[in-house]
Structure 1
């Protein structure tokens, strides 16, 4: 594998790979939107997000909703720069394994 490609066991888990793939495309995503998109429970998503947060790949922040009058706060998730780099390197590693790099 090249220096730019690095297989990452933590990211490779199917749900975490999907989480990173969805977060890679956006600046941030609401926990509930991510949960619904992935069609998993809060507990399942929380477990996988915690793993990514512990690795420094994802950051979670709570903020009040501008569109809601009640005090419930939304949880926003974002890939960190190290998370983006790890995800991109993992995708490159998968492409090398599959023989699809140019």
Structure 2
């Protein structure tokens, strides 16, 4: 694979997650969970993995007495996603040419 291929992003759940977040500024945890059809624990695990890699920023706050968690891709996460997509396009282009 080329230099843009990112095995961290390539995992199916994380690829769906990053693809969903890429065009957004901030997304609430609840929205992401519902859109991707994940449990709270599964989504939390994926978010932590991406946050640890520096690809994701997590904002935790309270609205009244209710906790609200929002997430967004960092600039590094957006660059990694774009690089990964470019690497996949290149791979598909090579495969289609055969």
- TM-score w.r.t. the length of structure 1 is 0.86
* Count of aligned pairs between the two proteins: 94
The gaps in structure 1 that reach 5 residues or longer are none
Matches within 5 A, 1:60-75: 60-65=58-63, 70-75=64-69
**Cα deviation code 1:27-61 (max 9, x no counterpart):** 01000100000011000001111000000000001
Matches within 5 A, 1:18-97: 18-65=16-63, 70-97=64-91
Separation in 2, partners of 1:28, 1:97 = 31
C-alpha displacement at 1:62, in angstroms? 1.1
- TM-score w.r.t. the length of structure 2 is 0.90
Matched position secondary structure for 2:45: helix
C-alpha displacement at 1:63, in angstroms? 2.3
The gaps in structure 2 that reach 5 residues or longer are none
RMSD: 1.6
**Cα deviation code 1:62-92 (max 9, x no counterpart):** 1233xxxx40121000000000000000000
Specify which structure has the higher proportion of helix.
2
